[in-house]
Amino acid sequence: MKKSKRLLAGYLIVMAFSLMNIACKESENKIKDGEITQFVVWDQNSTKHELHVNNVKNIISNKETFPVNVNLSRLVAEFKTNYESVILKVDDALQQSGKTRNDFTKEVVYDLYVGDAKQRSYTVLITKGVLANSFQSFSFNEKEMENYQPIINEETGEISNENEIPKNINISDLAPVFTLMERGATVKVNGVKQVSGVQRHDFSKPIVYTIEGEDGSSRSYTVDLKQGDFVAIKNPVMSGSYADPTVIHVGNEFYTYVTSGRVRGYRSSDLFNWRSIGPPSEVFTTRPDFVEVVSGKDAPGMWAPDINYFDGKYVMYYSISQWGEGAKCGIGVGVSNLPQGPFVPPAGNPNGKLFISTEIGVHNSIDPCFYEENGKRYLFWGSFHGLYMTELTADGMAVKDMGQKTKVAGKAFEATYIHKRENYYYLFASVGGCCDGVNSSYKVVVGRSQNLAGPYVSRGGVDMNTIDAWGATGFDPIVLQGNDTYIGPGHNARIITDKNGVDWMLYHSYIKENNTVGSRNLMLGKVNWDNDGWPIVDNGTPSPILTEIPVF
């Protein structure tokens, strides 16, 4: 009898634990089943609009049509969810209830997560009334206006920009692009019919646009652009052929040297306003000649200079190459007492040659980069046949031992630049096709090491020495790559740090509207460093406007 009671008690205990476990699991399942319970938006006049949440179809829509004066592009969403652990994202950006603004002129998708798991996606679609004689859109296609597009205020009839336009952007000659709510309406300025994207106006003063409907009614809008008393940088900082830049800071000025067969020099006090060193702009009075010339091809050109200052003189390393002759190209050195040149071969070296490819044992020996540390001088170089370093003689005018070199990266890379920051050496390099106009795939990548000779590794710990694939597909991080406007950015110069501690980088890039092979424009970008010490230029692609400028 006692044994039966003990068995019964044990059974009841087991059942109780089982029921508790089931309850806990059910509770966990409920927590995992997240949903939005309330969704409202606040407009530009701080008016609240409640939306309907359909948790079956995952659709959020307005209960009634919004007034025509509500600016759907500036709505702030406020929402509630059934559990605190639920988070919402739009395009992977975390949303904060009552704080995050989104553009609801189009469908907005809110992804709902519980922890790291995405459970569902809500589509938010808001409609509003249509006002007769009104603009549907009003914008400017000029790339320098990309960050300063105006907003239409239907309530006041004012079209104006939220962010002030820098004073160095010309707004006195702009051709706006617009669409209308009514297909048959006509737009006029001072009685003259306007065609979208055609007529240009001086927007440094207000311009009144009148929309005339087919029914004889009309409505006027005043376009009033706000321009601030500050300067922003327009890219490119020099338009035309300015490939393979190198830069040096001399007193209160910067000198950059670029190539298109010859080395040309330019000077600036701020990194974005440049003028020629000359006349002439060429800094070599005669082009060095130490490579074997193959007949039937264009003459060898000077490419990818690297400017330095040591031992009281300016020292420029450079490449001499005839296109496609990787075995015959090489690297030379020139010196000058002045940054504007002329640069001449060093004493005892009448043609300035350091080496050619066959002498050093590296095919396509171009793209030099000088580095000095602990009283020793080194040269890095290479192009798609491995990147290498070797020690130079004490005066930096020759290779110490032609038989000694260290491979630091594989065949995917060229255009080496070494930068020291805190405990790391950073090896910047360019990958992909440099010189095919709008078909160029050039981009800048980086690896780092705690030793000058490597190994240089990617963010994921991959040794750059092991990467031989064209374009280095999947390499991380990519510091800079092209976009719809700028094609094939790469071959960066050294990093320049301004007096506020901000880093800046010159590089070259094609522009889509300017796609001839010889037009690699000079660009400027801000170098940002993440919390793990990895760099990225601007937001990873070239910016048409830099609103932060170097301070010197």
- Is residue 24 very low, low, confident or very high in pLDDT (cuts 50, 70, 90)? very low
Higher per-residue confidence, 326 vs 371: 371
Annotated domain spans of the chain: 36-125, 135-223, 233-546
- Where do the DSSP E strands lie in 141-262? 150-153, 158-161, 176-180, 186-189, 192-193, 207-212, 218-223, 233-234, 243-250, 253-259
Residue-wise pLDDT tens digits, 194-230? 999 999 999 999 999 999 988 788 999 999 999 999 8
Quick one: pLDDT at residue 114? Answer: 93
pTM higher than 0.75 = no
- Quick: pLDDT tens for 54-97: 999 999 999 888 887 788 888 999 999 999 899 999 999 999 99
Structurally, at CATH architecture level, domain 36-125 sits in Sandwich (2.60)
- Residues forming the active site: 244, 414
User: How confident is residue 26, by pLDDT bands cut at 50, 70 and 90?
Assistant: very low
Residue 15 confidence class, pLDDT cut points 50, 70, 90: low
Q: DSSP label at 344?
A: B
488-516: average pLDDT: 92
Mean of the pLDDT values across residues 427-440? Answer: 94
Q: Helix, strand or coil for residue 74?
A: helix
What pLDDT does residue 324 have?
Answer: 79
- Report the C-alpha gap between 209 and 190 in whole angstroms: 8
- The residue-averaged pLDDT of 413-427 equals 98
Q: Is the pLDDT of residue 471 over 70?
A: yes
pLDDT digits (tens, 9 = 90+) for 232-274: 898 999 999 999 999 999 999 999 999 988 999 999 999 999 9
Q: Do domains 135-223 and 233-546 have the same CATH topology?
A: no
Name the CATH topology of 135-223: Immunoglobulin-like (2.60.40)
Q: What pLDDT is recorded for position 10?
A: 53
Q: For the chain, report the end-to-end CA distance as a whole number of angstroms.
A: 95
- pLDDT above 90: residue 298: no
Cα angle 493-456-543, degrees, rounded to a multiple of 5: 35
Which of 485, 502, 501 has its CA nearest to residue 537? 502
Which CATH architecture best describes the domain 233-546?
5 Propeller (2.115)
Q: Which pLDDT value is given to residue 518?
A: 63
What value does the mean pLDDT of the chain take? 91
Of residues 312, 261, 270, the one with CA closest to residue 288? 261
